[in-house]
Amino acid sequence: MTAWRPWGGPGLLGGERSIRKEEERRRGIFTRRAAVLGAIQLGAFGFLGSRLYRLQVEEGARYATLAEENRVSARLFAPPRGRILDRNGKVVAGNRLNWRALLVAEQTADVGATLETFSKIVPLADHDKARIEREIRRNRRFVPVILREFLSWEEMARLEVNAPDLPGISVDMGTTRIYPETEHLAHVVGYVAAPAERDLDDDPLLQLPGIRVGRAGVERHHDRILRGRAGAVEVEVNAVGRVIRELDRREGIPGQDVQISIDAELQKVIRGKIDEGTTAVLLDARNGEVLAMATKPSFDPNIFNAGVSAAQWRQWTAARTTPLINKATNGLYAPGSTFKMIVALAALDAKVCRPGDIVSCPGHLDFGNNRFHCHNRNGHGGMNMRSAIMASCDVYFYEMARRVGIDRIAAMANRFGLGVDLDIELPGTRRGLVPTRGWRQAQGKPWSIGDTIVHGIGQGFYQLTPLSLAVMTARLATGRAVQPHLTRTIGGRPARGSRPEDWPSLGVAEADLRLIREAMWGVVNGGGTAGVARIPGQYGQLAGKTGTTQVRRVTREQRERGYNANAVPREWRPHALFVCYAPHDNPLFALSVIVEHGTSGSGAAAPLARDIMVEAFQRLGPARPGQRVAEAGR
């Protein structure tokens, strides 16, 4: 290309006129092209304007919400957990202040050195140190990390004195659950622990660090009520989440106190009387309130709060005595002779015998090729229903069972709360087992008359909880379908079911029930099997029934040599049972007692039941105001 000189001589075209003409043409082209370009650029500005209009006006509200969500962060805080009180207002699950040491990493120049100083004042376990380092690494530097919980006064004082050497460390106050009754009420009250994955529901509270939820017992059943509703602080946060200021605070709803029907003092006294493997359930016969539910061994629920060590957990779960299991609701036992009232009622209800019908007891019943023994080898002679219950004659009930059939027995048992789900506030309560012909056949096995005969004395497949036996006794005593329950008041308001009228009648003939009650009275007061259980006259009279259930079959050879249950190893000895209610003429209390390997109901369970009843009368008896029932003199 030739060099170009802007202000050089005349161009090749030459001539002023043609230059002007060409210039005009070029200028025209430029003008058109520039106009196109300008129009494009103006259009682009228009596009930007419309885009802004759409974002800021048409979608403005949506983006305003998003900006608010960005800016405002709701921080939850836990309300205090509701307490659990016993029937006298004694706190059985409460809250205790928990002083915690926190570290904010960004407030100290050297985290390592600060931790070092801290651990000289308050010792830290190695696993704690590892956890702290992990949390500091994981969290943003302004998030407080818990160094130690449950600081003692002395430790707090030392931290205060050394505060200048502990930049970034502060002490804050939380709460922790405390169970003053320790192991005495552990199975009823339950315990709290950190929520597991399956506990997480829609409650945002559970996302909070350090939150505890009820994991067993009343703590679990009433968890929502006790937990309350989370309070929230709305704070303005910046892009990295640091709190700039507090915008709004909404106090949470504190958890409500739950009052349960247990008498903690009575419970403690009863537990003082029983040995390992023994269970006693005391109900208010009129309304089903559980007054005491004692079993041994137990555990200290306070341990769960801070976390159970692996060794402790192994020890609990490996123990044959199963301390973690509430035997009152989860222990399964054959009812033995305590079941005979049900068989009798089923026979009366089905009209297969009249109360006065005599069955002769020669000491055994032969049926087919089998011989069914009575506990009295010499036989009771002629027995009517009343005397059969009082003497606990097996042959009489073999015969009754044979007459009435297993299914009608089962139906009667279910009416009395046996083998059905009980509506009690203890999660995991077992239903037990009351066999029927259909149940056995569903397993592909036949049901024979012989099976029915064995079940007539409460042996065989029966698996019942001590709680359900107490319910059966209460229903026998009152004729009402009382359900066992623990809740008396929630947040001060009475819960349903505290009045006898709240419970419907069982619909069992009153005459039949009266006969059974008379017989049970006779067991204790009329020369029956449990004369030992008689209680002092001022408390009225006690009516009950003994039971002894084999845990190991007694062989023919043993029987012929003269079987002595006390001579065999302890874990082979029969369980001892006793169910009773009192006073006979105006039932207040219903009680079931099971002494594992107690050998005999009258020997081990009845005297214990008597003592428990006396304690119950002394603490909760009719002398106390407000306890007397209206229907006196029945």
Contact residues: another protein, CB under 8 A: 1, 4-8, 10-13, 19-20, 22-23, 25-27, 29-31, 33-34, 36-38, 41-42, 44-45, 47-49, 51-53, 55-57, 59-60, 62-64, 66-68, 70-71, 236-240, 244
Judged by beta carbon, residue 20 or residue 514, the one nearer another protein is 20
Judged by beta carbon, residue 53 or residue 313, the one nearer another protein is 53
- Report how far residue 33's alpha carbon sits from residue 24's, in angstroms, rounded to the nearest whole number: 14
Shortest spacing between CB 74 and another protein, in angstroms: 16
Shortest spacing between CB 16 and another protein, in angstroms: 9
Contact 239, 66 (CB under 8 A): no
Shortest spacing between CB 259 and another protein, in angstroms: 48
- Report how far residue 572's alpha carbon sits from residue 557's, in angstroms, rounded to the nearest whole number: 16
Stated as kind and residue range, the H or E segment containing 313 is: helix 310-318
Judged by beta carbon, residue 33 or residue 354, the one nearer another protein is 33
Judged by beta carbon, residue 44 or residue 113, the one nearer another protein is 44
Report the relative pairing of strands 84-85 and 258-260 from DSSP bridges.
parallel
- Report how far residue 186's alpha carbon sits from residue 210's, in angstroms, rounded to the nearest whole number: 22
Judged by beta carbon, residue 12 or residue 318, the one nearer another protein is 12
Sign of the alpha-carbon dihedral angle for 229, 233, 237, 242: negative
The number of residues in the chain equals 634
Contact 418, 468 (CB under 8 A): yes
Judged by beta carbon, residue 142 or residue 563, the one nearer another protein is 142
Which ranges constitute the DSSP H helices of 543-583?
A: 556-561
Shortest spacing between CB 69 and another protein, in angstroms: 9
Shortest spacing between CB 144 and another protein, in angstroms: 21
- Phi-psi category of residue 378: left, alpha or beta, with phi > 0 → left and psi -120 to 50 → alpha: alpha
Judged by beta carbon, residue 244 or residue 306, the one nearer another protein is 244
- Report how far residue 590's alpha carbon sits from residue 613's, in angstroms, rounded to the nearest whole number: 9
Contact 513, 389 (CB under 8 A): no
Contact 488, 262 (CB under 8 A): no
Contact 83, 93 (CB under 8 A): yes
- Report how far residue 333's alpha carbon sits from residue 321's, in angstroms, rounded to the nearest whole number: 15
18, burial (CB in 10 Å: exposed 0-12, middle 13-18, buried 19+)? exposed
Shortest spacing between CB 204 and another protein, in angstroms: 22
3-state SS string for 440-452 = HHHCCCCCCHHHH
Judged by beta carbon, residue 236 or residue 357, the one nearer another protein is 236
Shortest spacing between CB 17 and another protein, in angstroms: 11
Judged by beta carbon, residue 27 or residue 354, the one nearer another protein is 27
- What is the Rg, in whole angstroms, of the alpha carbon atoms belonging to the chain? 40
The one-letter amino acid at 553: R
Shortest spacing between CB 140 and another protein, in angstroms: 14
Judged by beta carbon, residue 41 or residue 505, the one nearer another protein is 41
Nearest-5° Cα angle at 615, 571 to 413 = 60
Shortest spacing between CB 31 and another protein, in angstroms: 7
Judged by DSSP in three states, 99 sits in strand
Shortest spacing between CB 168 and another protein, in angstroms: 24
Shortest spacing between CB 242 and another protein, in angstroms: 9
- Phi-psi category of residue 350: left, alpha or beta, with phi > 0 → left and psi -120 to 50 → alpha: alpha
Judged by beta carbon, residue 138 or residue 493, the one nearer another protein is 138
- Report how far residue 396's alpha carbon sits from residue 467's, in angstroms, rounded to the nearest whole number: 27
CA-to-CA separations, 460 to 339, 340, 433, 451, 551, in angstroms, rounded: 12, 13, 11, 7, 11
Shortest spacing between CB 309 and another protein, in angstroms: 40
Cβ atoms < 10 Å from Cβ of 3: 5
Judged by beta carbon, residue 245 or residue 320, the one nearer another protein is 245
| DSSP 8-state secondary structure symbol assigned to residue 164 | G
Judged by beta carbon, residue 235 or residue 579, the one nearer another protein is 235
Shortest spacing between CB 198 and another protein, in angstroms: 30
Burial 341-362 (b: 16+ CB within 10 A, else e): bbbbbbbbbbebbebeeebebe
| Tokens describing residue 303 | 């341990």
- Report how far residue 389's alpha carbon sits from residue 514's, in angstroms, rounded to the nearest whole number: 13
Judged by beta carbon, residue 42 or residue 449, the one nearer another protein is 42
Shortest spacing between CB 244 and another protein, in angstroms: 7
